[in-house]
Amino acid sequence: MTKAPIKTRRHFQGEVVSAAQTKTIVVRIDRHRFHPIYKKRYTVSRKFQVHDEKQQYKVGDVVEFVECRPISKNKKWRVLYKPTV
């Protein structure tokens, strides 16, 4: 009998753009892409709703978050910590 392989959890680092909801923050991740024809660099961003149990993060903080079980319809991420810069 073999064990199922352990699924690695995705983790990202981004900036908090909203902390208006209870126990939820919205984190934005920016990526830079190059246009294949015009060779111009542009920014692509995604937003994630992240669970913040202690409500300790404010707008502008940079946080690292990881994938977890579904907490609500749109919330499938939880905060790991705030990296020190």
| pLDDT given at position 24 | 97
Angle at 66 between CA 60 and CA 67, to 5 degrees: 130
59 contacts 19 by C-beta, under 8 angstroms: yes
What contacts 24+ positions apart, CB below 8 Å, involve 78-84?
Answer: 78/50, 78/51, 78/53, 79/25, 79/50, 79/51, 79/52, 79/53, 80/11, 82/57, 83/13
Taken in order of first residue, the domains within the chain and their CATH numbers are: 11-80 (2.40.50.140)
pLDDT in tens, 14-68: 999 999 999 999 999 999 999 999 999 999 999 999 999 999 999 999 999 999 9
5: three-class secondary structure by DSSP: coil
